[in-house]
Amino acid sequence: MKAYRFDHLDGLDGLRQREEADPRPQRGEVLVRVRAVSLNFRDLAMPRGRYPRPCLPGLIPLSDAAGEVVEVGEGVAAFKAGDRVMGAFHPRWFGGDMPATIQKDSYGAERDGWLCELKAVSQEAIVRMPGGLSFEEAATLPCAAVTAWTALTGPVPIRAGHSVLVLGSGGVSIFALQLARALGATVIATTSSDAKGEPLKALGAAHVVNYAKDPQWGKQVRALTGGRGVDRVVEVGGPGTIAQSLRAVALGGEIASIGFLSTENPGIDFFQLKSSGANFRNITVGDRSALIELARVVEAAGLKPLIDQVFPFEDARAAFEHLEGGTHMGKIVIRV
């Protein structure tokens, strides 16, 4: 089979395609023919030295994939050849408390990921695709969509009448917008590009705030809610956006902390944090049960993931470069 590996982690030049032996499923495993994979910011952060944890060189990158089962190992009863499946982001977090070993199971960081033609995995590490989606669409769900779903659903689930703030137009933010609208919430979106304003509104955003034009966009968001603030902030920016998110959130609302897209770190004002009255929840994607639940919601709601561009397998590096350019809206996919 063909597979990509990052031979070294000092930039995209380390990405190399190789010919490797086809894997075989062992007891309890399935062999998946990978049909599509999608990129997340973490996949770029690793070779760029911006990931918050140490990463191992020489691994196959990417955590998100969809494909079809072509062979099952001994003792596999949950799947059969021909099943259309997608991989769970955390292959050994099935539900309940997060396992202490979760970092060791991290695709692309400490174990081989999915940027390859064939992959043998435990039958517990995959779930069935939602009906009505292509492989390319299903490949966008395991990380970004589950993260958005986790941010919206617990411990106080978003429901009709609530308000949600999403930052930017990357994968998590677009999924959060779509899912929040499916739940009946009002969504405010931020962007640095006026050109993205109308597409965001077409997806269901009630208001769009250009943060490049208004550095104090948190106050503008609060004003759009009649001074109350939003019930939930899907916070993907990190250190560079948290101060404005605190200004935008309602008393007793929640900031669901997800990403670290911004590199500047002005620090957090403790008194602003305290006076906001907001709850702060750290999101680490979600477990396998969350992916199963999300798949049901996507199918029932007829939700279609927004794909910015699909790249061929032979041009995988261009997909990483497009992600780095930051002009995309929604997800970037590689067809295998």
| DSSP notation for 4-37 | EEESSSSSGGGEEEEE-PPP---TTEEEEEEEEE
Residue 206 forms part of a structural domain: yes
> How many domains are there within the chain?
2
- What residues have CB less than 8 Å from 249, skipping those under 6 apart? 165, 229, 230, 232, 233, 255, 276, 278
pTM attached to this predicted model? 0.94
- Residue 238 included in any domain: yes
Class of residue 113 by CB neighbours under 10 A (exposed 0-12, middle 13-18, buried 19+):
buried
Are residues 126 and 238 located together in one domain of the fold? no
Beta bridge partners of 68: 33, 84
Residue 67 lies in a domain: yes
125 and 167 within one domain:
no
Per-residue pLDDT 10s for the chain (336 aa) are: 999 999 999 999 999 999 999 999 999 999 999 999 999 999 999 999 989 888 999 999 999 999 999 999 999 999 999 999 999 999 999 999 999 989 999 999 999 999 999 999 999 999 999 999 999 999 999 999 999 999 999 889 999 999 999 999 999 999 999 999 999 999 999 999 999 999 999 999 999 999 999 999 999 999 999 999 999 999 999 888 999 999 999 999 999 999 765 556 666 776 677 678 789 999 999 999 999 999 999 999 999 999 999 999 999 999 999 999 999 999 999 999
Same domain for 73 and 202, yes or no, is: no
In a domain, 291, yes or no: no
Q: What residue type is 93 in one-letter code? A: W
Residue after which a domain boundary falls, among 282, 297, 319: 282
**293 in a domain, yes or no?**
no
158 and 266 assigned to the same domain: yes
For residue 134, what are the domain limits? Answer: 2-140+305-335
In a domain, 42, yes or no: yes
Is 13 part of a structural domain of the chain?
yes
Among 251, 267, 282, the domain boundary falls at 282
- Residues 127, 249 within the same domain: no
Same domain, 276 and 322: no
Residue 43 is assigned to a structural domain of this protein: yes
Are both 93 and 9 inside the same structural domain? Answer: yes
CATH number of the domain that residue 207 is part of: 3.40.50.720
Cβ–Cβ under 8 Å, residues 209 and 201: no
Same domain, 97 and 203: no
Q: Are residues 182 and 246 in the same domain?
A: yes
Q: What distance in Å separates the CA atoms of residue 249 and residue 268, rounded to the nearest whole number? A: 15
